[in-house]
Amino acid sequence: MAESGGAQIIDGKLIAKQIHWSIAQEITTLKERHDKVPGLAVLIVGERKDSQTYVRMKRKACAEVGIKSFDVDLPATATEEEILDAVLALNANPEIQGILVQLPLPKHVNEQKILLAISIEKDVDGFHPLNIGNLTMKGREPLFSPCTPKGCIELLKESGIAIAGKRAVVVGRSNIVGMPVALMLNNRDATVTIVHSRTKNPEAIIREADIVIAAAGQPLMIKGDWIKPGAAVIDVGTNSVDDPSKKSGYRLVGDVDFEEVKKVAGFITPVPGGVGPMTIAMLLQNTLESAKRMFALEG
Ligand code: NDP
């Protein structure tokens, strides 16, 4: 962690690298003990550039830590039935302990139907309604928690930031980030408020937070004077904005005005290099946990 004119910068890239390293170690041990390695299937439908980049990164990360990746690439024209058949074949494959369907799916496909078809024991993305349902219920544990929210919690933990009893504000309430991270903070005994696009006077609510998780997809929305001095600020937002000074013509910024907020906050994650690398690290971790659970059952 580095200091920066006030806030300590939480180095997600470094924390993720350490997690990758320990996963690789564990996989070597598993291989020795069971003569098997974890298998992750990554299914993509269509040619969306951003989705292809994410899938490429996930497959590369698998190779680096010793997870066997199973690639399923279907054309954008694939029917719902063809996608369902592919998922069912992955469910039945004993070499595979994790299945990830890259979202979003093409418009003609019922996403919910596909996610429901994934075996709950292989749902390493944690989006199966049963896993999400268990996350919402007291005394229940999901088999898997969604990767980006889990990455946010891990960053707080690794930085020594206590959650229990703290006031947390989550900005955003999507199924994949905002809502599950709010549930996970609640399960760890924070008092959680969710801010969304219809919230009146969000700055007054955010100013009360000891922990802010920003996941609105609104570039540089959260300003320095919205933050309580010393608060921990985790910025999930990944927004590309025009930047003629860059060769690509754009740069990535978060939902948090980093330059302003770092002067006030106690901890802050940068964009890029904060939450982003943790998402993949948590996917690998979920896959490893799934494999350990299944290998133990097989004896
Ligand atoms: P969605 O667009 O699905 O959800 C955005 C949420 O933010 C909605 O709940 C919306 O409210 C709320 N919101 C929008 N505008 C405002 C506003 N002005 N004030 C308060 N709340 C607002 O986005 P995602 O959850 O998928 O992603 C959020 C951000 O996180 C994006 O920048 C995305 O790129 C990034 N991301 C990063 C990942 C990573 O690994 N680093 C992974 C996933 C996402 P309402 O419900 O009322 O519409």
pLDDT, tens digit, 9 for 90 and up, residues 37-65: 999 999 999 999 999 999 999 999 999 99
Longest Cα–Cα distance in the chain: 58
Mark whether 255 is an active-site residue. Answer: no
Q: Is 274 in the pocket of ligand 1 (CB under 6 A)?
A: no
DSSP lists the bridge partners of residue 71 as 42
> Best substitution site from 15, 100, 197, 218 to test ligand 1's pocket, by max atoms within 8 Å of Cβ?
197
Cα distances (angstroms) measured from residue 61 to each of 12, 45, 75, 183: 15, 20, 24, 28
Give pLDDT, residue 60: 97
The pick from 236, 240, 256 for probing ligand 1's pocket by mutation, whose C-beta has the most ligand atoms within 8 angstroms, reads 236
Q: What domains appear along the chain, each with residue ranges and CATH number? A: 34-119 (3.40.50.10860), 146-277 (3.40.50.720)
Rounded distance from Cα 46 to ligand 1 centre (Å): 23
For residue 194, pLDDT over 90 is answered with: yes
Q: What is the pLDDT of residue 191?
A: 98
How confident is the model over 161-171, as a mean pLDDT?
A: 98
Number of H-type helices and E-type strands within the chain: 10, 12
Q: How many CA atoms lie within 13 A of 134 on its CB side?
A: 13
Tens digits of residue pLDDT in 219-258: 999 999 999 999 999 999 999 999 999 999 999 999 999 9
| Per-residue pLDDT tens digits for 86-119 | 999 999 999 999 999 999 999 999 999 999 999 9
Spatial distance between the Cα atoms of 10 and 284, rounded to a whole number of angstroms: 21
Q: Tens digit of pLDDT for each residue in 131-152? A: 999 999 999 999 999 999 999 9
CA-to-CA separations, 128 to 69, 121, 134, 135, in angstroms, rounded: 21, 10, 10, 11
